[in-house]
Structure 1
Amino acid sequence: MGTTAFKADERIESVEIDQQHLTVGLMDGRRISVTLEWYPRLANADRQQLERWEICGAGYGLHWEGLDEHISTEGLLRGAPAPRYEHDRVG
């Protein structure tokens, strides 16, 4: 029985943001969806701020300069929410 080796490619291919979730599509076909509540700066942002993201870190990160938020695919895959700070409260 043969097996095909599959190479994971964790670089970002696509990004979707709705009112409740950030969904990142990876080059290898996986999709990671997390609640915006994991990232208070995103949860508290308006639609215009949310749409001002850029792919960085050779394709392994997302950055919102105006929100001072950076999220890596490594963190998304680990299921690591942003650290909580007093000024980042959701709501």
Structure 2
Amino acid sequence: MGELTQSQFDAAIERGAHDLATSPRARAARYDRDTGHIVIDLVNGATFAFPATLAQGLETASAEQLEAVEILGAGFGLHWEELDADLTVAGLLAGRFGSARYMAQRFGAAWDSEAAE
């Protein structure tokens, strides 16, 4: 692997700062037992919630397992260690609750054709 020039390093730092400033990221995440939703508080002040039963790996999880949600990295993802489940915040906000295969199997060909566009 070659050496990184100062200009390449500076450009990478700038790209990273841009991603942190513009990408959807979680500030906090929790499971709401009353509604059955995973609730994500975003760094921009917005809140997003979805039924846990929609997401790959969470469909049959217990409330205790769902409550063990962790925020990954700088808030780009959510993780459930015991369930071995990971979801990206950007994907969830775009309506992707799992892999392309999961989405096609769970939500049918209509989702698959929309994803291809």
TM-score of the two chains, using structure 2 as the length reference:
0.58
Structure holding more strand per residue:
1
The change in CA–CA distance for 1:50 and 1:31 in structure 2 (over 3 A counts) is same
> Does the 8 Å CA contact 1:22/1:35 hold for their aligned counterparts?
yes
Runs of 4+ in structure 1 deviating by more than 6 angstroms, as ranges, are none
Larger Rg: 2
Runs of 5+ consecutive residues of structure 2 not aligned to the other structure: 1-20, 104-117
In the alignment, the residues of structure 1 paired with residue 63 and residue 32 of structure 2 have an alpha-carbon distance, to the nearest angstrom, of 9
Q: Deviations 1:54-84 (Å, cap 9, x if unpaired)?
A: 1113221011111011011111111112243
Q: Deviations 1:5-25 (Å, cap 9, x if unpaired)?
A: xx6452211112124211101
Shift of 1:47: 2.0
In the other structure, the counterpart of 1:76 is 92
**Pairing 1:11–2:1 present:** no
Task: Indicate the SS of the match to 2:74.
Answer: helix
Runs of 5+ consecutive residues of structure 1 not aligned to the other structure: 1-6, 86-91
Aligned-residue CA RMSD (Å): 2.1
Report 1:4-83 matches (<5 A).
8=22, 10-19=24-33, 20-83=36-99
